Amino acid sequence: MPVQLNHHIVASTDPAGSAAWWGEMLGLGEPVRFGPFWQLTTDNGVNIDFGGMVQAEAVTPHHYAFLVGEDDFDATFGRIVERELDYYADPGGRQKHEINHNDGGRGVYFPDPDGQWLEIITRPYGG
């Protein structure tokens, strides 16, 4: 069997709230309770788990990139704009309220309520 990412635990100050937020923003639906975790599953079968690593004050932000189709990009970007979230064309956060067109696709970065850095792209980089 080839090596595949099966699941990842995302640190959060509010696991249920973060899982619901990510599920709504990314169009992944409602999270499912699994043991001490709230779990979302991507279309390629990777589970994103929230909980078990709850931090009361703050979390160390990480970067999570999601490859999405054009329609899903439009839907997620629409939710970003509708919620008046800050978004950026670059990972350094210097190109505010812009999207990128790297490798012939579209991409945008935006933070979740804990400061985790989410990215949606329509084309893999360097591909």
The pLDDT tens digits for 22-79 are: 999 999 999 999 999 999 999 999 999 999 866 667 888 999 999 999 999 999 999 9
pLDDT of residue 55: 67
Q: CATH 3.30.720.120 region(s) of the chain? A: 8-57
Torsion over CA: 68, 103, 126, 80 (sign) = negative
* Sheet containing 32-34: order of strands: 7-10, 47-50, 37-41, 32-34
Give pTM, 2 decimals. 0.93
- For residue 106, pLDDT beyond 90: yes
Mean pLDDT of the chain: 95
CATH number, domain 8-57, options 3.30.720.120, 3.40.50.970, 3.90.25.10, 3.40.50.2300: 3.30.720.120
The dotted CATH code for 61-127 is: 3.10.180.10
Q: CATH 3.10.180.10 region(s) of the chain? A: 61-127
pLDDT of residue 56: 65
